[in-house]
Structure 1
Amino acid sequence: SLWFSWIYDITPGGIKKTEPEGAEKIPIVGKELKTYKATTFFSVLIIFSLLSFNIVDSVASRKIKSLDKKIAVIPYSAFNSGNNNNENYYFIGNQINSSLSKIKSYIIIPWKSTQRYLRDEKLYSEIGSDLSASFLVEYHPSEIDNQKQVTIGLVSTKDERLLWSKNYIMKESWLDICKYTPEISKKIARKLRTFLSMEERAGIREQPVSTMAELYSYKGNFLIQDTWERVQTGNELIDSISFGKAIEYYTHAIELDSTFAVAYANRAKARTWAIWTGSIDISQLNQCKKDINKALQINPDLPEAHVALGFYYYYGKNDYEKAKESFNRAVEIKQDDYECLFYLSLIERRIGNWDEVKLLSDRICNASYQNSSLFLTNIGITYVYLHDYTKAIECYNKAIELMPSWNPPYIHKLRSFLLTGNISNARDIAEEAIGKTGEPNRRILAELDMYEGNYVSAINNIELSVKDEFDEGGEALLLKAKIYKNAGYDLRATENYSSALEYYSELLSLYPDNAYVYSKIGIAYAGLNSGREAIYYGMKALEISMIYRDAMTEPASIYDLALIYAMTGDNNSSYELISGLTRMESPFSLELMSLDPDLKEIINSTLF
């Protein structure tokens, strides 16, 4: 401004170059003088305002730039459960989230983690604190006089300040949001002072070949994830129908857009999961590989395709090393995606790379936007194997907070207390679980009674237990036999051990290389005082576990063989196995084993 004023003068006739010294002055009088003064005043005022604005804007810009660009997309309010548009409303949030994810300098919290947060339930600052998000992108779909519209707003969680807002009219349908996501992403980037590369601009501008295909794909993703969690939580009745419906959605998406790489990848993953659960025949595994190859042909760097390939090798081929390579590639592409990290941790855990497992588990458990009760429960199991029971309980508490009506995290939490020998706390949690989940948990109560030597109550609870409380039928028979034997009812114990032997022998014909089945046959023989057969089957189980190098099942095979030795009177062999078991990553501890009536004599002996 100073430089400008030296060269030019502001005059009633406009801005003119300053005359050299000595030039004839033009007299300014009367009205012209007043005009000159007014013009000068307003010009100075404008210059001052522009300078002030630039200073303020520069300060605001520096403040925004200093903040982490961690962003969460949230719906404005709860969607009515009876509203047929709910799928479309959630689809809108998913599309905004997906578009923003193409900006590499942003950390976009997964849509699955954020859709449960509702503006009318929490303050912006509270949601920001929960998710460790600096900014929220809030959207509010509404329909007035048959006109659909979506209001988008960008909010700073630090001071709850609205940084930008705009209303978008959906002329055709809710799927029109796909047309507006490029503009939304660019507006947000501009407000957050983010320079977009040519690659990022191209990615944001990219439109789906078919918006309906996008919707079908979203429906498939939602259904397959929900189905998978239900299967993992024991709701097996819906798995076949739901997996089939998800595959159907992906097929519709592919029919509408033959270049839809994500749909091919997710259809492959859905089929692999369905095969693993026994919902569809293994003959469809080849189709999984074809879909994966097609997805990678369209986009070699598609993380969903590498995740699908990982599950193909993990569940379809039992090839852990190749599965690990695929999940590693997915993590390289999508470094902060906790699902990819979780899948990789499962493989590392199975292989027994415990140092790597711990690093991955810490990252997943500490992610503030992690909201899967299933994942947290599984990570808790990892910490149990690492003998970090405090961290395990922390994960189970988070899982319970997310899904207070789901039973498994309570059961795993009480078992963590049993690993420290704390029966009292374990019983308190069992009662809490009964009250909050509605599950009777008779099986757990029977175990706790047995550990405390209260066999009258243990027998009552085990007889009232239902099959859904056990992983399979033989498990119930062996626990009944154990309780009756230690209660002094030898005949009832023998009946149950015989039934268990018959059950597992039939199972062995179906799964001839299953270490778990061999172990249980060995325990049944030990209960029937057939020591030679018991030890043979117990050692065979351990041999199979070691051949497959399965770090998750090997400790159980060692424990079962130690139990077989104890039941057949070979305390020294049992001691050797127990001693080794306590020095390896496993879900066992001396405190837990000292509660077992078949092992407590050895644990409490001079051997230890």
Structure 2
Amino acid sequence: MQLIDAEQDRHLWANRYNRTIEDSLGLEGELATEIAEALRARLTPEEKERVAKKPTQNPEAYLLYLQALPYEQGPDTLLQDYRQAVDLYTRAIALDPEFALARAHLASTCAEIFHFQEPLDTWKNRARSEAQAALRLEPDLGEAHFALGQCTFWFDEDYERALAEFATAQRALPNDSNIGAYVAAIRRRQGRWEEALATYQRMEKLDPQNPNIIRNLVFTNTSMRRWPQAAQAVARFRAVAPDSVVAKIQSGYVDFMWKGDPAALGPWLADIPPGNDPDGVVTCARWEDAMLRRDFAAADRVLAQTPRNGFSYLNGGLQPKSFLAGMTALARGDAAATGQQFTAALPEFEKTVQEAPKAAERHANLGLVYAFLGRKNDAIREGRLAVQLKPESKDANDGAIMLCYLALIYARVGELDQAIPLIEQLLRTPGAVDSVDYSISRNDLKFRWEWDGLRKDPRFRSLLDEIKGGPPSYSVAPIQLTALISASPPQQRQAEKMDSASRLAAIKG
């Protein structure tokens, strides 16, 4: 084991250890003491007590905990990895119910599943319960305060209280760059994009080998349409996480959105071995590559070659193969196959909304399916409800994404007078960019088949011409839902307001 000054490329300390699992339980404290002595640093009595404490007396539980960490902390935020981590942490806790550190990490993992994959109450309740259990066992445990901060951030959307929990966690874990990264994530959702970017950059200097920090730098620069900086960040992402499929896939998306090459994904996907398809993300990228190139036969072949039925393409969970097949059929103009595939997919999308009626992204996904099926009123209702549930004024990141969904829904159902002004605003809104079909960048609008219905409209062509010179200046004021429905006839507006109000009342109840 060795310690290197990454900035100066200097070797500072090294030692070799050969321990059994039982003997390794106190190794972290021993390492901290030796490194402090080598650097001539002094540990406070509290720090000495903290590093000397063993997290558990059960070596088997500790081994399970160590095995879970890379699944929880991997840079690709994959559902299958999170599930593996949950299983390992749960088994560790079964061996030692007082293993507070394992409970804290289990809480974080459940919160991450809720946020990144499945916004279900079961994950939310388990995350909060495990964080509180960890704090009952060890009130000063930094990881437990960190997990509680995640719960407060994602479940309650109480940013100030979450920041307070992260501050408590940081005092216990002063060198944990992940805590600073969550502070940056809150700033991003508050619309403080430059501050968020600067915080991520500081965290990268503190921990230059942390791929999760660099992944967020990729996404933040992309959200701000800072394409050269996003390309530099994704190159660093690949370097520190060479096995990450997301790093390779995002390299292709950055190239596409920046340079406007619809074949940009292909070379990066060629580096991913066959059979490596966690959560179906590689199949989605290969399918997307074909769709961007308008090679719909190739897109069909991609789907035919995989035995999977669940794919992580949209937010809010996995989508069925029939959804991707339906989009392929719609793009090539096969009306019969379009109706067949989307009709097959629809019950699964409706079920996800029933499971999580407060999840904006699931309403947005359902609205998109309705739009592709030509069910105009249903599509608009679900798209607007998604915006109401996740307004940009409350969440500048995901709120912008919900507006992107709504813009695409308007475009697909022929409401061009609503779609085009919203697209114009979103082109000047940070956060309105994603690696998916509703993304709003110049090259997404230029090349994706989903926007073909707008191409003859001179207003749409003018929008593309206006932003040829580079990133547009950003809008500061959040987009208001009332402005989005102003073009509807008065009777329709009143009916839709009543319908949305009744659905929101049911959700809140």
TM range (shorter): 0.7 to 0.9
Do the aligned residues in 2 keep the contact of 1:442 with 1:464 (CA within 8 Å)?
no
- CA separation of 1:136 and 1:603: change in aligned 2, threshold 3 A: farther
Match of 1:403 among 241, 250, 258: 241
Given the alignment of the two structures, is residue 467 of structure 1 paired with residue 312 of structure 2, yes or no? no
Q: Deviations over 1:143-199 (max 9, x none)?
A: 9xxxx9xxxxxxxxxxxxxxxxxxxxxxx966786897798467535xx5x6x5xx7
- CA separation of 1:215 and 1:313: change in aligned 2, threshold 3 A: farther
Cα deviation for residue 473 of structure 1 reads: 4.8
Do the aligned residues in 2 keep the contact of 1:527 with 1:567 (CA within 8 Å)?
yes
> Paired residue for 1:264?
100
Secondary structure of 2:15 counterpart: strand
Match of 1:422 among 261, 273, 298: 261
Supply the distance in 2 between the matched residues of 1:445 and 1:211 (Cα, whole angstroms).
44
Q: 2:340 corresponds to which letter in structure 1? A: E
Supply the distance in 1 between the matched residues of 2:88 and 2:203 (Cα, whole angstroms).
28
Secondary structure of 1:137 counterpart: strand
After TM superposition, list the pairs within 5 Å mapping 1:148-159 onto structure 2: none
> Paired residue for 1:385?
223
| Structure 1 stretch displaced more, 512-521 or 320-329 | 320-329
Given the alignment of the two structures, is residue 510 of structure 1 paired with residue 351 of structure 2, yes or no? no
After TM superposition, list the pairs within 5 Å mapping 1:180-191 onto structure 2: 184=34, 187-188=37-38
> Paired residue for 1:139?
15
Secondary structure of 1:513 counterpart: coil
After TM superposition, list the pairs within 5 Å mapping 1:22-171 onto structure 2: 74-75=1-2, 128=5, 130=6, 132=8, 134-141=10-17
- CA separation of 1:521 and 1:216: change in aligned 2, threshold 3 A: same
> Paired residue for 2:286?
445
Q: 2:66 corresponds to which letter in structure 1? A: F
Do the aligned residues in 2 keep the contact of 1:417 with 1:423 (CA within 8 Å)?
no
Secondary structure of 2:447 counterpart: coil
Secondary structure of 2:14 counterpart: strand
Secondary structure of 1:345 counterpart: helix
Cα deviation for residue 389 of structure 1 reads: 2.5
Supply the distance in 1 between the matched residues of 2:47 and 2:293 (Cα, whole angstroms).
63
Match of 1:483 among 328, 345, 356: 328
Given the alignment of the two structures, is residue 500 of structure 1 paired with residue 342 of structure 2, yes or no? no
Over the aligned positions, Cα root-mean-square deviation in angstroms equals 3.7
Cα deviation for residue 436 of structure 1 reads: 11
Given the alignment of the two structures, is residue 244 of structure 1 paired with residue 90 of structure 2, yes or no? yes
> Paired residue for 2:498?
none
> Paired residue for 2:375?
530
| Structure 1 stretch displaced more, 591-600 or 231-240 | 231-240
Q: Deviations over 1:35-66 (max 9, x none)?
A: xxxxxxxxxxxxxxxxxxxxxxxxxxxxxxxx
> Paired residue for 2:450?
598
Given the alignment of the two structures, is residue 319 of structure 1 paired with residue 195 of structure 2, yes or no? no
Supply the distance in 1 between the matched residues of 2:284 and 2:46 (Cα, whole angstroms).
58
Secondary structure of 2:80 counterpart: coil
- CA separation of 1:173 and 1:406: change in aligned 2, threshold 3 A: closer
Supply the distance in 2 between the matched residues of 1:380 and 1:551 (Cα, whole angstroms).
17
> Paired residue for 1:34?
none
- CA separation of 1:307 and 1:281: change in aligned 2, threshold 3 A: closer
> Paired residue for 1:456?
297
- CA separation of 1:508 and 1:359: change in aligned 2, threshold 3 A: same
Q: Deviations over 1:553-606 (max 9, x none)?
A: 222221221112111222221111111111111213121122121214536742
Match of 2:69 among 207, 218, 225: 225
Cα deviation for residue 329 of structure 1 reads: 3.9
- CA separation of 1:186 and 1:422: change in aligned 2, threshold 3 A: closer
Supply the distance in 2 between the matched residues of 1:200 and 1:424 (Cα, whole angstroms).
57
Q: 1:373 corresponds to which letter in structure 2? A: P
Secondary structure of 2:294 counterpart: coil
Cα deviation for residue 435 of structure 1 reads: 7.1
> Paired residue for 1:337?
176
Supply the distance in 2 between the matched residues of 1:202 and 1:447 (Cα, whole angstroms).
53
Do the aligned residues in 2 keep the contact of 1:243 with 1:271 (CA within 8 Å)?
no
Cα deviation for residue 437 of structure 1 reads: 5.5
Do the aligned residues in 2 keep the contact of 1:233 with 1:408 (CA within 8 Å)?
no
Q: 2:150 corresponds to which letter in structure 1? A: F
Q: 1:462 corresponds to which letter in structure 2? A: L
Supply the distance in 1 between the matched residues of 2:36 and 2:442 (Cα, whole angstroms).
59
- CA separation of 1:550 and 1:500: change in aligned 2, threshold 3 A: farther
Q: Deviations over 1:264-303 (max 9, x none)?
A: 365234235336537878267345325325533xx4xx64
Supply the distance in 1 between the matched residues of 2:342 and 2:275 (Cα, whole angstroms).
34
Supply the distance in 2 between the matched residues of 1:345 and 1:448 (Cα, whole angstroms).
32
Supply the distance in 1 between the matched residues of 2:101 and 2:202 (Cα, whole angstroms).
26
Q: Deviations over 1:193-228 (max 9, x none)?
A: x6x5xx737754888466964978965763442231
| Structure 1 stretch displaced more, 536-545 or 134-143 | 134-143
Cα deviation for residue 341 of structure 1 reads: 1.2
Q: Which has the higher strand share?
A: 1
How many pairs does the alignment contain?
Answer: 436
- CA separation of 1:481 and 1:286: change in aligned 2, threshold 3 A: closer
Do the aligned residues in 2 keep the contact of 1:185 with 1:204 (CA within 8 Å)?
no
Q: Which runs of 5+ in 1 are unaligned?
A: 1-73, 76-113, 115-126, 149-171, 255-262
After TM superposition, list the pairs within 5 Å mapping 1:504-583 onto structure 2: 504-546=349-391, 549-583=394-428
TM-score normalised to the size of structure 2? 0.73
Larger C-alpha radius of gyration, 1 or 2?
1
Q: 1:270 corresponds to which letter in structure 2? A: L
Supply the distance in 2 between the matched residues of 1:535 and 1:179 (Cα, whole angstroms).
57
Q: Which runs of 5+ in 2 are unaligned?
A: 114-119, 434-439, 464-509
- CA separation of 1:177 and 1:435: change in aligned 2, threshold 3 A: closer
- CA separation of 1:585 and 1:337: change in aligned 2, threshold 3 A: same
Q: 2:211 corresponds to which letter in structure 1? A: S
Q: Deviations over 1:521-565 (max 9, x none)?
A: 222222222222221121111111118823332222212211121
Secondary structure of 2:390 counterpart: helix
Secondary structure of 2:12 counterpart: strand
Aligned-residue identity in percent: 16
TM-score normalised to the size of structure 1? 0.62
> Paired residue for 2:441?
589
